[in-house]
C-alpha cells in the first residue's frame, strides 16, 4: 500500500512497503538498491571515545531500529530480479543463495585502518563482464568522507554515481529500499529518472529533501548537455 507519493523533478518517491508496492509497478530499466543485509546495522556503529579522565566511554547510539535484523525474504528478492533486466544489489553476498548467476561483481574498498566487521561491500550485478571492479573511499576515521550522513547505512554519493555508470543505458532506475535516497540523488546528478520506495517515514522525508536539494544545487562539474553549449560556441574564431 502506498502511504504517500512525492514527485520531484524526474523522481517518483513512494512511502510504503516495497513488498506491496513492487507488484503495482511496471518493469523499469534497472534496479539499483541496497537492501537490509540482516546484520543488525539499523542502530549504526557503536562508537565511543575517551572522556576527560581518559576512560573509554561508548557514545549513545544515534539511531534506533530493527529493520536490519532480517534480510528481505526470497519473494522480495525474486520480485527485484523480475522488475528489470539490469541490476546492482549492494550486499549481494548476503543474498547469493537466492540471486541467480549474474555478471560482474563490484567492490567498495572501505580502506579500514582498524579491525572492522567488514573490509568493504560487494554488489551482485547483471552488468556484463566477469572481472571485479573496485571503488575506493575511506568509510571511517579522520580520512572518512561521510557526506553528512543522516542514515545509519547511508552509501557515499560518489559510490552510487560510480556504480550507475556501469548502466549507461538505464534511463529509469528503481530503488525499493531507498533509505535516505542516495541512489536517487546519484540519478539526479547523472540525469536519470528515479523511482524510490521507503517504508520509514523519517528516512522518506530525508530522501525527499536530499533529492530536492540535488535539483536546486546543480553540480558545477557536471557535463552540460551539448545543446546548451552549441549556441554559445562562436561559428568562427573571434566571433
Ligand atoms: C540499507 S538501507 C538503504 C540505505 C540507502 N542506500 C542510503 O544510502 O540511505 C535499507 C532501507 O530499507 C528500508 N526498508 C526496510 N524494509 C523495507 C520495505 N519492506 N519496504 C521499503 N523499505 C524498506 C529501511 O527502512 C532502510 O532505510
pLDDT tens digit sequence for 102-143: 899 999 999 887 777 788 999 999 999 999 999 999 877 666
Helix axes 182-189, 201-216, angle to 10 degrees: 20
Give the cell for residue 88: 546492482
- The answer, yes or no, to whether any atom of ligand 1 lies below 6 A from the CB of 200, is yes
* Domain chopping of the chain, boundaries: 2-36+71-230
pLDDT at 146 over 80: no
Answer yes or no: are the C-beta atoms of 211 and 13 closer than 8 Å: yes
How far apart (Å, rounded) are the C-alpha atoms in residues 13 and 43?
A: 24
pLDDT tens digit sequence for 20-30: 999 999 999 99
Q: Hey, whose CA ends up nearest to atom 5 of ligand 1? A: 179
pLDDT at 153 over 50: yes
Quick one: pLDDT at residue 225?
40
Q: Determine the Cα angle at 110 with ends 104 and 114, to 5°.
A: 140
Its CATH architecture, for the domain 2-36+71-230, is 3-Layer(aba) Sandwich (3.40)
Considering only CA atoms, which of 197, 155, 192, 154 is closest in space to residue 176?
A: 197
- The answer, yes or no, to whether any atom of ligand 1 lies below 6 A from the CB of 210, is no
Give 121 Cα–ligand 1 centroid separation in angstroms. 16
Decide: helix, strand or coil at residue 147. Answer: coil
pLDDT at 191 over 70: yes
How far apart (Å, rounded) are the C-alpha atoms in residues 99 and 9?
A: 32
pLDDT tens digit sequence for 15-74: 999 999 999 999 999 999 999 999 888 876 555 556 677 665 655 556 678 898 889 999
Band of the pLDDT at 224, cuts 50, 70, 90?
very low
What is the pTM (predicted TM-score) of this model? 0.86
Phi-psi region of 148 (alpha: psi -120 to 50; beta: other; left: phi over 0): left
Q: Which of 177, 188, 200 is the best mutation target for the ligand 1 pocket, counting ligand atoms within 8 Å of the beta carbon and taking the most?
A: 177
**Residue found by looking up cell 534506533 in the block:** 64
Amino acid at each position: 500500500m502506498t502511504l504517500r507519493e512525492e514527485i520531484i523533478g524526474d523522481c517518483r518517491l513512494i512511502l510504503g512497503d516495497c513488498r506491496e508496492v513492487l507488484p503495482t509497478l511496471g518493469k523499469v530499466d534497472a534496479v539499483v538498491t541496497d537492501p537490509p543485509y540482516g546484520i543488525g546495522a539499523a542502530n549504526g556503529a557503536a562508537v565511543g571515545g575517551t572522556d576527560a579522565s581518559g576512560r573509554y566511554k561508548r557514545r549513545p547510539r544515534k539511531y534506533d531500529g530493527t529493520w536490519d535484523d532480517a534480510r528481505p525474504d526470497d519473494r522480495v528478492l525474486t520480485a527485484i530480479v523480475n522488475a528489470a533486466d539490469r541490476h546492482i544489489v549492494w550486499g549481494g553476498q548476503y543474498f547469493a543463495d537466492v540471486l541467480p548467476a549474474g555478471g560482474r561483481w563490484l567492490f567498495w574498498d572501505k580502506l579500514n585502518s582498524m579491525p572492522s566487521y567488514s573490509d568493504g561491500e560487494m554488489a551482485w550485478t547483471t552488468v556484463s563482464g566477469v572481472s571485479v571492479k573496485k571503488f575506493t573511499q575511506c568509510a571511517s576515521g579522520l580520512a572518512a568522507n561521510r557526506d553528512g550522513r543522516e542514515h545509519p547505512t547511508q552509501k557515499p554519493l560518489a559510490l552510487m554515481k560510480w556504480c550507475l555508470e556501469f548502466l549507461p543505458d538505464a534511463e529509469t532506475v528503481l530503488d525499493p529500499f531507498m533509505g535516505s535516497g542516495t541512489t536517487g540523488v546519484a540519478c539526479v546528478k547523472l540525469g536519470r529518472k528515479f523511482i524510490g520506495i521507503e517504508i520509514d517515514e523519517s528516512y522518506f522525508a530525508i530522501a525527499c529533501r536530499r533529492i530536492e536539494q540535488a535539483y536546486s544545487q546543480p553540480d558545477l562539474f557536471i557535463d552540460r548537455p551539448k545543446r546548451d553549449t552549441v549556441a554559445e560556441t562562436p561559428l568562427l574564431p573571434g566571433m
